[in-house]
Amino acid sequence: MTENAGDQTEKQTGHAVIHGYLKTLDGSPGVYRMLNAQGEVLYVGKARNLKNRVSNYARPSGHSARIARMIFETASMMFLTTRTEVEALLLEQNLIKQLKPRYNVLMRDDKSFPNILISTEHPFPQIKKHRGKKSEKGSYFGPFASAGAVNRTLNQLQKVFLLRNCSDAMFESRTRPCLQYQIKRCSAPCVGKIDKPGYARLVADAERFLQGKSTAVQTELAEAMAKASEEMEFERAAALRDRIRALTNVQQAQGINPRGVAEADVIALHQDGGQACVQVFFIRANQSWGNRDFYPRTGAGAEAPEILTAFLTQFYDDKDPPRLILLSHPVEDEDLVVQALSERAGRKVELAVPQRGEKAELVENAARNAREALARKMAETSTQHRLLAGLAEAFDLDAPPQRIEIYDNAHIQGADAVGGMVVAGPEGFVKSQYRKFNIKGASGAQGDDFGMMKEVLTRRFERLLKEDPDRKTDLWPDLLLIDGGAGQVSAVASILEELGIEDVPFIGVAKGIDRDAGKEEFHRPGEPAFALQRNDPVLYFVQRLRDEAHRWANGAHVAKRSKAIGATPLDEVPGVGATRKRALLAHFGSAKAVSRAGVEDLKAVDGISEAMAQTIHDFFHPKG
């Protein structure tokens, strides 16, 4: 891969500038970048033949309005040549994700999707939700569209197959059945209520169900229930009946259960008013495992084939594509996209735009969901714009804010202090931009709310000044909302003044009289406090923003406190991992008892060598 950049000394723009690069290009495949006079990347594209593609842009006419605007703004170009066009396609999408050019289609939600994992790293496998890299040994089933879809399915599967969901450490420590066994959601292998072969049969049944072989599982359960009834084992027959009912509930909860489509992603696009919604349904094992809607940025007016091409390559950048992808519209360079996805999956991937039959019905269902989701989104966005305009008027801002940052702290008398920042804008809360700040200074231990806020804001804006001093990105806030009154506002003013930031407005939101919601007072530096009418929509909007910051900070605090409660001094001992820690705690009963043990006692624990025993002893008994 090679790179060259043309440097036009005169900051001219337009097709004439682009024409000047033709003499430096050949017919290699590659990626090109179009930049404006300020050096900002306007567009990233890929080409089978760079010279031919750039020559198209060099023509003075024959372009769509979107491309014409892009050409008019172009002042320079950069080029990367690649060995193949597939390599160019993948590089193009990586650069789009990294640079976020204005005229490209950009998928704005790239979260991973959860799976169900039946772990095989233990003699009695555990069933659980799994997200992220598939590094643990076991059988993975998914993806599911959301944590909620996984949790609902897991809830029913536990009723049917009675597999444990407890951790290995919890399993090893049990001496009597837990509540899961009492409510008939676990077979209690931890205390020998079921033997290994019996549990293995349950695991096999669960895997067959998740592979789409539910009919066979139901038939076997029905036969077992009939046999138990004939043998007058009515309690066992009733238990089997409950499992069959739970299995039926799982299938009903899936909603869509196509007979002729065993594995596919159904992807449909709907556009309206310059906005787009892409709806993705996950079909696995002839069952629907949920759906998710995405709202890609359409690159100032891209058409459906370009949007879906960009969506597919970005969506599957870090996910394994299924064998079949059903689409509502054709894509650009279908053969190229198929090749790229097949290489990603390590097997053949097929794209199809079905016109009739069950597959077409699946696409139509996804398209209807996309249409309805986009209508809801546009209505919510319209309301949000009105609220932002009202906020600007109420707080005397120059314009409706595009990025609001709301800050709050959470602690208990200084313990486990955490600062939280949430972000809101024209499309509502931007959860990918939320941040947590573990309070490191003395202010946390002292319960000093002013000091905590100073630390949080100092860290936030020092990083902004370092990473984006010229404010070229959209990460600079237009408004700060601080939980607190005049004292907090004064503290924030001094922090921003020290950092040389004079143009970011901020408001303190205080609870007001009797700390009653609806009587909030708003504080600005150097001005008297004021309030809004109780029925003002802007007041409700601010309350929602503040409550979200409070929820986020409290959640971070609870998580930090829970982690601290669960920590032991053994976590700090070199060489003591999870397995040795479990063995030591099982042998001695507590970390305190471990700390008092002698070397000989430590050596008696399974997995603790003489050298490790000495290491543990020396950790707790350092020599003067």
Out of 3.30.420.340, 3.10.150.10, 3.30.450.40, 3.40.50.2000, which CATH number does the structure's domain 404-564 have? 3.30.420.340
Residue of 403 and 534 predicted with greater confidence:
403
What band does 569 get if pLDDT is binned at 50, 70 and 90?
A: confident
Task: Give the tens place of pLDDT for each residue, 222-241.
Answer: 777 888 787 787 777 777 77
Residue 587 above 60 pLDDT?
yes
Torsion of CA 340, 344, 347, 351, to 10 degrees: -50
Q: How far apart are CA 257 and CA 284, in angstroms?
A: 9
Task: Tell me: pLDDT of 413 over 90.
Answer: no
Q: Could you tell me the pLDDT band of residue 564, with boundaries at 50, 70 and 90?
A: low
pLDDT of residue 8: 44
| Model pLDDT for residues 134-153, shown as the tens digit of each residue | 888 999 988 888 888 888 88
Span of 125-139, 443-457, 521-535 with lowest mean pLDDT: 443-457
Q: Rounded to 5 degrees, what angle do the CA atoms 538, 435, 98 make?
A: 105
Q: With beta carbons less than 8 A apart as the criterion, state whether 80 and 1 touch.
A: yes
Residue 124: pLDDT band (50, 70, 90) is: very high
Q: Are 79 and 26 in contact (CB under 8 A)?
A: no
pLDDT band at 7 (very low <50, low <70, confident <90, very high): very low
Look up the CATH architecture of domain 2-103: 3-Layer(aba) Sandwich (3.40)
Query: Could you tell me what percent of the chain has a pLDDT over 90?
Result: 43
Distance CA 494, CA 461 (A): 13
215 secondary structure, DSSP code:
H
pLDDT at 618: 82
DSSP 337-380: HHHHHHHHHTS--EEE---SHHHHHHHHHHHHHHHHHHHHHHHH
Interval 154-211: pLDDT, tens:
887 888 888 998 888 889 888 888 888 888 889 999 999 999 999 998 898 888 878 8
Domain with CATH 3.40.1440.10 in the chain: 2-103
Q: Considering the domain 569-620, what is its CATH architecture?
A: Orthogonal Bundle (1.10)
Q: What are the structure tokens assigned to 274, written together?
A: 């310059």
Task: Give residue for tokens 């909302």.
Answer: 481
Average pLDDT over residues 605-609: 88
Q: What is the average pLDDT score of the chain? A: 86
Which helix (H) or strand (E) covers residue 545, if one does? Answer: helix 537-566
334 and 351 in contact (C-beta within 8 Å)?
yes
Give ranges for CATH 3.30.420.340 in the chain. Answer: 263-375, 404-564
Q: Residue range 555-576: average pLDDT?
A: 73
123 or 221: which carries more pLDDT confidence?
A: 123
Residue 440's pLDDT is 81
Least confident of 165-169, 245-249, 263-267, 307-311: 245-249
**Partners of 135 in the beta sheet?**
none
pLDDT recorded at residue 582: 82
Which whole number is the average pLDDT over 556-585?
Answer: 76
Which segment of 332-346, 372-386, 508-522 scores lowest on mean pLDDT? 508-522
Check if CATH label 3.30.420.340 holds for domain 263-375: yes
Per-residue pLDDT tens digits for 428-472: 899 889 999 988 876 655 667 788 888 899 999 999 998 888 887
CATH 1.10.150.20 positions along the chain are 569-620
Q: pLDDT tens digits for 342-365?
A: 998 999 999 999 999 999 999 999
**Burial environment of residue 457 by CB neighbours within 10 A (0 to 12, 13 to 18, 19 or more):** buried
Q: In the chain, what percentage of residues exceed pLDDT 70? A: 90
Name, in order, each residue with C-beta under 8 angstroms of 352's C-beta and a sequence gap of 6 or more: 324, 325, 326, 327, 359
What does DSSP assign to residue 530? Answer: B
